Structure 1
Amino acid sequence: MHLTDDEFEAAVADALDSIPPQLTAVMDNVVILIEAEPPEHDPELLGVYEGTPLTERDSWWGAGALPDRITIFQGPLQRMCTSAAELREEIAITVVHEVAHHFGIGDDHLHELGWG
């Protein structure tokens, strides 16, 4: 399944809009990026969170800190889905999964919650 770049970006924005406002309001110093493909060493990676989770930040954390990064990889998501609806659902799952890492929620707990 293939979406145009604009359609894919809109699906990521819709996924972010689905997160309750009380949670997005406390997201701090994080940027959401879309890249065509993940690193060569992990070609099936759907998304990645890079940064310091909110639960691990101390009072000195913000002094000159670069934004955390959530990157969503368009290629693998599109290759794994056979319909636009399925792709939009997988995008939403991936976005929520990576945002959860920003809040300090680990993979094991996300899998238990059905967001693995």
Structure 2
Amino acid sequence: MTDLTQSTAPSSDDIETVARQVIATLPPAFAPHAKDIVLRIEDVAPDDMLDELETDDPLELTGIYDGIPMTEKSPSEPQHFPDTIWLFRRAIIDEWAERGDVTLHDLVAHVTVHELAHHFGWSDDDIAKIDRWWE
């Protein structure tokens, strides 16, 4: 039996390290387009973000892309804020514990890639067609 008395929850730095590894190892076709994305790790989503998404439970949101997808960007209308991927530590840990069938590294990598896909202009439906992760 595993001794959980000595275990500590993964820190924001642990989650950021995995996310940065994922970004650093993107295929060459995608890597240049991800280099300027800001990565933010927070314990939970801020209240204003939850309100905007019309959800009350911060543990339901593991990550979000905040920006204008590449497919919608226009050189004539510059963006006044950086594209940002937010990862929410407590929600990721909660899902990891509930699932029990994936490593924390794999879950963080999956959430990071999912949010990157939104940056590249993919919808949730597009992602679901090729990513059977949640089945």
- The TM-score normalised by the length of structure 2 is 0.73
1:53 aligned onto 2:69: yes
**Structure 2 residue runs without a partner (length 5+):** 1-7, 48-55
1:18 to partner: Cα distance: 3.1
Q: Name which one, 1 or 2, has greater alpha-carbon Rg.
A: 2
- The TM-score normalised by the length of structure 1 is 0.83
1:7 to partner: Cα distance: 1.9
- 1:30–1:61 distance in 2 versus 1, CA, 3 Å: farther
1:22 aligned onto 2:38: no
1:68 to partner: Cα distance: 1.5
21-30 or 65-74: bigger deviation: 21-30
* Aligned equivalent of 2:50: none
CA contact (8 A) 2:19 2:112 kept: yes
1:112 to partner: Cα distance: 1.1
* Aligned equivalent of 2:84: 69
Q: What is the percentage of aligned positions where both structures have the same residue?
A: 31
26-35 or 10-19: bigger deviation: 26-35
**Structure 1 residue runs without a partner (length 5+):** none
Q: Which of 98, 106, 109 is matched with 1:92 structurally?
A: 109
CA contact (8 A) 1:19 1:96 kept: no
- Count of residues in Structure 1 that have an aligned counterpart in Structure 2: 114
- Provide the secondary structure at the position in 2 that maps to 1:22: coil
C-alpha distance in structure 2 between counterparts of 1:28 and 1:94, whole Å: 17
1:27 to partner: Cα distance: 3.2
* Aligned equivalent of 1:79: 94
Point out which structure has higher relative CO (alpha carbons under 8 A, 6+ apart): 1
C-alpha distance in structure 1 between counterparts of 2:41 and 2:69, whole Å: 20
1:2 to partner: Cα distance: 2.0
CA contact (8 A) 2:65 2:115 kept: yes
1:57 to partner: Cα distance: 1.0
